[in-house]
Structures are given as structure tokens and as C-alpha cells.
């Protein structure tokens, strides 16, 4: 069972500075692969910034390596960047403050600008698309950025153009992406109609790549639900259909809920065990106390002056100041100790060796449980109650 699962609702307003940055770090020789993974683990929201605002500036510092993106002459548009630095490590990242403080920047998709990191993206996430298609899609992003996600889902041809899944990777090419939404309807109706379009061979399972899964996972950590804009943007980013992103998030939420249910179940089980044990112990204690009550009261044999009732609080108390009763050989302190010993002996087994304060004293403190209440009380001693 997995523990430590955080199920808190993601804070939609938490636009952390790390958002909008994809950063790849890899060891020499494996830069692209590692960069892909690291980039996939980075945040991805970004929204086209107004022309008047500065674009994000990244400061990557690694042993003197420092660069800013975009250059000072860059446009005002903001995009996520996936740097693939094959031999760099240990650098830090800082976003331009004015950019990182505005949550609006993260409400939509990060688009990788062709010419800066296109190749990194294409190699990193283009598992379902032919390279040429990826390049064209990226090139087309300039025109599509401000169309938002609605264009992605509203255009009948968009799925064929933007999500032409090449499933030959896993031997599962079935062209679903091109035909799923050919009807021009919404994602739901279209995807559900895909079977009709594709016949019996439709259910060929697509396995998302590790990069895609990691990216989706990171996105899920940020937000467990997606609005249509984000969904379409993420789908575009990962070269998936929006329906696939939607399904992935649905399944991911289901898995999260299932794990949380398991954690809750385990917790409740332990609570139940603890309560059962407590219940058993209390029953045992009740039985012992009842047996004690029916037995001849041991305090009948005590000297009358050893135990006394406080007139104010009506609690039994030992009276060390009282003189021993005539004929009694037990000193008061010893008699009190006998009471104490008896109480311990009577109660201790019920607790399994653990003393249980107050239970036995409460038995004596209760007037109704004092069998000698009807008998003449011993002389009222000086109150030793506090």
C-alpha cells in the first residue's frame, strides 16, 4: 500500500515561478534523453503574453554558464522552453519577476518556439507524430496560439492536422486520431463514435511514452482537473488528442481516489482494532469490578479509624492522624497502604499490568457504591481534602 499520498486540492492560484519552464538536464552523451525526462517534469503552463510585457527570461547558471531567453530583441510572447543541455548540471533557474508573478501566464499552454527549442520538443515528445508533422505543427503554432483550445476541438480537421497519431511505435497504428473527431462534434461524442468509424480493430491500446506520462503526471500534480483550454493545450504539447488527455486525467483521478480509499481503509481498520481492544479491556474491567462488588468488602476488616469519609466531599480517605482503634495492631499508614495495595491488585490485571488511576478511587468516591453508607459513619476526621 502506498502511503504519503497527498490528495489536497491543487491550488489553482498557485502560479509558482517554476511554471512555464521546461528544463532538460542530462549527463554528457545522454543529454537528449535525460533532457526529455527533465523537461517533461517541468511545468508547462504559459499563455501568450501581451506584446507590451516582457517575455520570460531564464537565467541558467552553471559554472559560469548563463543565458537569457529570449534575447533582448525577442518578441513579447511567452512560451515554455525546453532546454536540452547535454552536459550541464547544477544550474539554477530564475524567471523574470514580472512574468512569474502573473498567474495569467499559466492559464494556457506553453508553446515551444520553433527555432529555439523545436528540435528538443520534437525529439522529446513526438512519439506519436512523424517528425515532419511535428515541425509543421510547431510552425503552425504561431498562428494558433491565440486561437486557444476551442479551435482545437471545434475544427473538424484539426485532429487530423494537429494530432495525426503515428501509433506504429507500439505496433498499434489504427488512425484513431485522424478519425475520432471527424464528425465535427465535441470530444465526447466524437470519441465515443470512433468505434463506429473504425470497426472491430479500433480497440488497439496506446501506451503513452514515459515522457508523456511524466509530463501528464507533473501537470496532474499542479492541477487534477483541466479546463478545455488547458486540455487542448496539453494535448497539443504532448502530441495527443484532447480526449486522450481527458481520459488520462480521469483515470489518474480514479487511481488517486482508489489509493486514498486504501489509505483511509487502513486507517479505519487500525482505529477499529484499537477500539475493539479498548472495548474488550473495558468489558473485562467491568466484570472484575462486578466480581469485586459481590465479594465481601475487604474494607470491613479494616480498622474503623483507618478509613474515614470526608464530610465535605464524601470521599473515603485514610486518616493517618487518627489513633489506632483499640485492639488494632495495624498502624493507620499501614492500613492505608493495604487499601492502596488492594486497589492496585484489583485494578492492575484489568489493565494488563498498566495502572489505571482513578477507576478504583472513583468506585469508592461514588456514594452509591459505598456499602457502609447506611451504617454509622466513623467520627468525622479533620478534613484532609485539598
Partner DNA sequence: TCTCAGGCACCACTTACATCA
Partner DNA sequence: AATGATGTAAGTGGTGCCTGA
Binding residues (CB under 7 A) for DNA: these are 170-172, 176, 185-189, 191-192, 194-195, 202-208, 213, 225-226, 228, 243-244, 246-255, 257
Q: Which is nearer to DNA, 96 or 210 (CB)?
A: 210
**Least distance from DNA to the Cβ atom of residue 243, Å:** 6
Helix (H) or strand (E) holding 198: helix 194-198
The total of other beta-carbon atoms located within 10 Å of residue 99's CB is 21
Q: Are strands 21-25 and 81-85 parallel, antiparallel or unpaired?
A: parallel
**Least distance from DNA to the Cβ atom of residue 125, Å:** 15
**Least distance from DNA to the Cβ atom of residue 238, Å:** 11
Query: Using an 8 Å Cβ cutoff, are 221 and 10 in contact?
Result: yes
**Least distance from DNA to the Cβ atom of residue 162, Å:** 16
**Least distance from DNA to the Cβ atom of residue 80, Å:** 22
Query: Using an 8 Å Cβ cutoff, are 163 and 239 in contact?
Result: yes
Q: Which is nearer to DNA, 62 or 256 (CB)?
A: 256
**Least distance from DNA to the Cβ atom of residue 188, Å:** 6
* Residue closest to 244 by CA, chosen among 133, 168, 134, 162: 162
Q: Which is nearer to DNA, 41 or 336 (CB)?
A: 41
DSSP-derived secondary structure letter, 15: -
Q: Which residue reads 499559466 in cell numbers?
A: 106
Query: Using an 8 Å Cβ cutoff, are 307 and 318 in contact?
Result: yes
Q: Which is nearer to DNA, 197 or 288 (CB)?
A: 197
Task: Give strand pairing partners of 62.
Answer: 65
Distance (Å, whole) CA 16 – CA 132? 34
Q: Which is nearer to DNA, 20 or 177 (CB)?
A: 177
Tell me if residue 318 falls in helix, strand or coil: strand
**Least distance from DNA to the Cβ atom of residue 147, Å:** 16
Q: Which is nearer to DNA, 179 or 322 (CB)?
A: 179
Q: Are strands 21-25 and 316-318 parallel, antiparallel or unpaired?
A: unpaired
Q: Which is nearer to DNA, 99 or 249 (CB)?
A: 249
Q: Which is nearer to DNA, 81 or 206 (CB)?
A: 206
**Least distance from DNA to the Cβ atom of residue 353, Å:** 41
DSSP class per residue in 39-104? HHTS--B--PPPTTSPPP----BBTTB---SS-TT--S----EEEEETT--S-B----HHHHT-GG
Amino acid at each position: 500500500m502506498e502511503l504519503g499520498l497527498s490528495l489536497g486540492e491543487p491550488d489553482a492560484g498557485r502560479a509558482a515561478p517554476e511554471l512555464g519552464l521546461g528544463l532538460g538536464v542530462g549527463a554528457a552523451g545522454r543529454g537528449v534523453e535525460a533532457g526529455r525526462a527533465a523537461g517533461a517534469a517541468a511545468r508547462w503552463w504559459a499563455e501568450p503574453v501581451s506584446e507590451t510585457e516582457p517575455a520570460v527570461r531564464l537565467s541558467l547558471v552553471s559554472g559560469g554558464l548563463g543565458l537569457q531567453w529570449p534575447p533582448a530583441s525577442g518578441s513579447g510572447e511567452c512560451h515554455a522552453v525546453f532546454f536540452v543541455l547535454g552536459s550541464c548540471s547544477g544550474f539554477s533557474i530564475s524567471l523574470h519577476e514580472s512574468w512569474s508573478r502573473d498567474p495569467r501566464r499559466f492559464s494556457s499552454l506553453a508553446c515551444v518556439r520553433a527555432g529555439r527549442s523545436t528540435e528538443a520538443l520534437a525529439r522529446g515528445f513526438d512519439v506519436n507524430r512523424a517528425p515532419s508533422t511535428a515541425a509543421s505543427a510547431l510552425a503552425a503554432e504561431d498562428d494558433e496560439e491565440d486561437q486557444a483550445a476551442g479551435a482545437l476541438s471545434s475544427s473538424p480537421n484539426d485532429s487530423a492536422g494537429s494530432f495525426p497519431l503515428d501509433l506504429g511505435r507500439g505496433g498499434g497504428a489504427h488512425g484513431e486520431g485522424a478519425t475520432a473527431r471527424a464528425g465535427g462534434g465535441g470530444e465526447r461524442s466524437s470519441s465515443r463514435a470512433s468505434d463506429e468509424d473504425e470497426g472491430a480493430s479500433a480497440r488497439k491500446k496506446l501506451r503513452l511514452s514515459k515522457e508523456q506520462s511524466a509530463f501528464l503526471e507533473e501537470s496532474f500534480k499542479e492541477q487534477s482537473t483541466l479546463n478545455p483550454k488547458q486540455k487542448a493545450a496539453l494535448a497539443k504539447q504532448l502530441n495527443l488528442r484532447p480526449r486522450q488527455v481527458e481520459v488520462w486525467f480521469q483515470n489518474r483521478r480514479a487511481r488517486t481516489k482508489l489509493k486514498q480509499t486504501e489509505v483511509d481503509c487502513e486507517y479505519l481498520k487500525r482505529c477499529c482494532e484499537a477500539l475493539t481492544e479498548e472495548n474488550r479491556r473495558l468489558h473485562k474491567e467491568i466484570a472484575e469490578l462486578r466480581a469485586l462488588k459481590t465479594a465481601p468488602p475487604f474494607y470491613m476488616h479494616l480498622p474503623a479509624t483507618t478509613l474515614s469519609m470526608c464530610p465535605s466531599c464524601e470521599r473515603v480517605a485514610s486518616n493517618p492522624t487518627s489513633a489506632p482503634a483499640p485492639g488494632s495492631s495495624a498502624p493507620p499508614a499501614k492500613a492505608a497502604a493495604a487499601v492502596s495495595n488492594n486497589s492496585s491488585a484489583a485494578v492492575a490485571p484489568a489493565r494488563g499490568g498498566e495502572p489505571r488511576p482513578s477507576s478504583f478511587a472513583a468506585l469508592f468516591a461514588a456514594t452509591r457504591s459505598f456499602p457502609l453508607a447506611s451504617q454509622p459513619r466513623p467520627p468525622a476526621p479533620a478534613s484532609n481534602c485539598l
